[in-house]
């Protein structure tokens, strides 16, 4: 039987990739239920969009494989990745008439889930 996987990508999340990667590193390779439980106790702003992306990836897999076959407890996070998105560039006034750049960073969060082995 071929490997079936569910994929979800949340793009242009208004959080820097470095901060989002700190959270994603904690859940990579876990089961979906374990990852969602762990995210509830992490006090970072990035947990909400990551949690939504995990739910979306799991739902995508369940809908393509069939509801009767899979449940959330049967899934594992195969790949969890945070890439940099577009930057919003602004300017801030500084001393002596100068300006300094401000870069509001965004992230693209990619989650891939698959069925557990065995």
Mean pLDDT for the chain? 92
Total domain count, the chain: 1
Strands (E), the chain: 5-13, 75-84, 88-93, 99-104, 107-115
Q: What is the mean pLDDT of residues 14-18?
A: 97
Domain range for 36 is 5-115
Q: Read off the CATH number of the domain in which 111 is found.
A: 3.90.470.10
Tens digits of per-residue pLDDT, 24-79? Answer: 999 999 999 999 999 999 999 999 999 999 999 999 998 887 766 677 888 999 99
């Amino acid at each position: 039987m071929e490997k079936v996987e569910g994929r979800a990508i949340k793009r242009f999340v208004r959080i820097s990739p470095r901060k989002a990667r700190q959270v994603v590193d904690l859940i990579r390779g876990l089961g979906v239920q374990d990852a969602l439980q762990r995210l509830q106790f992490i006090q970072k702003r990035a947990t909400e969009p990551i949690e939504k992306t995990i739910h979306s990836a799991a739902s995508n897999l369940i809908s393509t494989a069939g509801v009767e076959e899979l449940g959330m407890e049967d899934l594992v996070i195969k790949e969890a990745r945070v890439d940099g998105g577009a930057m919003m560039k602004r300017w801030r006034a500084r001393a002596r008439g100068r300006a300094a750049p401000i870069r509001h960073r965004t992230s693209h969060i990619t989650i891939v889930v698959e069925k557990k082995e065995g």
